């Protein structure tokens, strides 16, 4: 009986310590593929019309010039913030601009233009949100 008590104590200690270790909380896979143009709200997306973005290099091939056609698709003036994230050819983030504010006149075609900060930029992503 004296041998059984230490074994039971050891078993109780093992069971109590094994419950203290919790598994990590893992991220879940995003089921949606990332696009080039993103909106922070469905309302903003519904009130704008975005054309096909163009990306061209300058004559020296150093700077990537981005132009995105955007129109306020309402009869109201829209105040929108935008930012751009630039990626290298491997999809790694090179840099991200701060938020810029632009006002769009009702139903008038306009453009958002941004330039990369260096020659390594190969792609971009643009995010839109309501101006703060």
Tokens encoding 88: 């290298």
Judge whether 121 lies within some domain: yes
> Does the residue 125 lie in any domain?
yes
Q: Is there a domain that residue 69 lies in?
A: yes
**Distances in whole angstroms, Cα of residue 3 to Cα of each of 6, 8, 31:** 6, 9, 56
112 domain-assigned:
yes
What domain range includes position 62? 49-132
- pLDDT tens track for 34-82: 889 999 999 999 999 999 999 999 888 789 999 999 999 999 999 999 9
90 is a domain residue:
yes
Pairwise CA distance, residues 132 & 77, whole Å: 15
pLDDT over 60 at 119, yes or no: yes
Q: Which of 6-10, 93-97, 110-114, 125-129 has the lowest mean pLDDT?
A: 6-10
Q: Is residue 25 part of a domain?
A: no
Tokens of 123: 């792609």
Q: Domain holding 125: CATH number?
A: 2.60.40.3230
Is residue 19 a part of any domain in this protein?
no
């Amino acid at each position: 009986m004296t041998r059984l008590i230490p074994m039971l104590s050891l078993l109780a200690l093992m069971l109590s310590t094994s419950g203290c270790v919790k598994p990590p909380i893992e991220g879940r896979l995003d089921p949606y593929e990332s696009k080039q143009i993103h909106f922070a709200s469905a309302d903003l997306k519904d009130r704008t019309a975005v054309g096909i973005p163009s990306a061209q290099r300058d004559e020296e091939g150093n700077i990537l010039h981005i132009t995105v056609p955007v129109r306020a698709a309402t009869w109201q003036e829209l105040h929108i913030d935008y930012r751009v994230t630039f990626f290298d050819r491997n999809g790694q983030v090179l840099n991200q601009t701060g938020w810029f504010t632009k006002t769009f006149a009702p139903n008038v075609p306009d453009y958002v233009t941004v330039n990369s900060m260096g020659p390594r930029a190969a792609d971009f992503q643009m995010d839109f949100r309501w101006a703060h």
